């Protein structure tokens, strides 16, 4: 994956460049334009039941995270937990940079989702 040098043209680009070959893909990540190969999709016929269950579990966690982050009181609680893990990292624990990702991961790791 390559990172593009900022310019007026590149800062506004996103998506795929060559429609037929789908070789180049531009995306905005953390405020930077990233150039990579177009993501390959798996053939739906080859997806296993375990993968389908994982996809479904993740989609449920994303919906729940959106619901909880829409509530101002719950958002403040999550923000406090997020700031705690960001300011006081623990050994062997992933450091999250985005609140939404932290909430999704926490929901997926909750004992009732195991």
* pLDDT tens by residue, 61-76: 999 999 999 999 999 9
pLDDT above 90 coverage of the chain, percent: 38
* The length of the chain, given as a count of residues: 114
Joined together, the tokens standing for residue 9 give 């043209």
Cβ-contact 17, 23 below 8 angstroms:
yes
Considering its fold, how many domains does the chain have in total?
2
Looking at the structure, do residues 104 and 55 belong to the same domain, yes or no?
yes
Looking at the structure, do residues 28 and 72 belong to the same domain, yes or no?
no
Considering the entire predicted model, what is its pTM?
0.60
């Amino acid at each position: 994956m390559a990172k593009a040098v900022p310019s007026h043209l590149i800062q506004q680009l996103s998506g795929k460049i060559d429609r037929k070959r789908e070789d180049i893909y531009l995306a905005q990540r953390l405020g930077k334009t990233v150039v990579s190969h177009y993501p390959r999709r798996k053939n739906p016929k080859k997806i296993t039941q375990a993968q389908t269950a994982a996809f479904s579990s993740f989609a449920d966690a994303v919906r729940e995270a959106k619901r909880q982050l829409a509530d101002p009181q719950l958002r403040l609680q999550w923000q406090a937990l997020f700031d705690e893990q960001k300011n006081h990292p623990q050994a062997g624990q992933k450091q999250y940079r985005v609140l939404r990702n932290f909430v999704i991961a926490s929901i997926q790791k909750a004992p009732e989702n195991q």
